[in-house]
Amino acid sequence: MNYSKIIEFVKEQTEKNGRPPIYPFRNRFEHIMRVYRWAIKLQAKVGGDLEIISLAALFHDVGWEDGRPHGDVSAEIAVEYLVEEGYDDKKIGRVAEIIRIHSDKDMTEPLSIECQVVMDADLLDEVGAISVLWDAMATAEHDNASYKMAYNRIQRYYQINLPKIKRAKTAVARSEYEKRMKMIRMYLDQLEKELY
C-alpha cells in the first residue's frame, strides 16, 4: 500500500497541532517516521497485520491538545481520516485502540501483537545512538555547556533507561534494546577514558 498521502497528512497535522517542543531540535514528525520504520522492521520479525501496524505508527503522535492525553487526540484524528478514506470500521477500531494506549508502556494486560509492535517501535526510538545525540544536543542548549556536562547527562539517562527494558513487549525489541544499552555503556566507558 502507498502511504504517501497519509504521510503528507500526518506531516501537516503534526506541524499545526501546537504541541510545544521540549527541545528545538526534536521534530515530532521525524519521530513519527522513525517509529513507522521501526514498526515495519519489527513486524517483519514478529508478525501482525502490517496495515494496522503501519497506520497506528503513522498516527500515534499526530494530535495534541492541552489537558487531554495525546493518544486520545491522535486516535480521534486517525478515526476521522480513515473513515473519510473508506477504511473498514473494524480496522479503524483496532488502529484507534493502539493509538489510544501506545504511551502506556507499563500496561500488563494482554495486548495484540500489533499493539506490542507499535509500543516497542515507540520505545526503541527513545534509546540508543539517537539518545546519545539527543543528550549532547540538549546539553549544548545550556550556558557553560561542556563535554563533562554532556557525559553526565548521557550517564544519568543511561541509568534511567536501563530498567525500561522491561517495557519491551516482544523478544525482538528486548534484544534490540539490550544491544543499544550495551552500545551506550561502551560509549560512556570510552568517553570517560578520554575525559578524565
Complete domains list, the chain, with CATH = 4-103 (1.10.472.50), 129-195 (no CATH)
pLDDT of residue 1: 65
Is the confidence at residue 188, as pLDDT, over 80?
Answer: yes
CA 79 to chain CA centroid, nearest Å: 20
Residue bearing cell 557553560: 144
Interval 142-174: pLDDT, tens: 999 999 999 999 999 999 999 999 999 999 999
Residue bearing cell 515530532: 28
pTM (predicted TM-score): 0.95
Rg, C-alpha atoms of the chain: 18
How far apart are the C-alpha atoms of 169 and 77, rounded to whole Å?
26
- Which residue stretches of 47-170 are H helix? 50-59, 70-84, 89-101, 113-124, 129-140, 147-161
Interval 88-146: pLDDT, tens: 999 999 999 999 999 999 988 899 999 999 999 999 998 999 999 999 999 999 999 99
Looking at residue 106, what DSSP letter applies?
T
- Expressed in angstroms, the distance from the first to the final Cα of the chain is 53
| Element (DSSP H or E) covering residue 167 | none
Q: What percent of the chain has pLDDT over 90?
A: 88
Residue bearing cell 503522535: 61
How far apart are the C-alpha atoms of 192 and 86, rounded to whole Å?
56
| More confident call, 2 vs 55 | 55
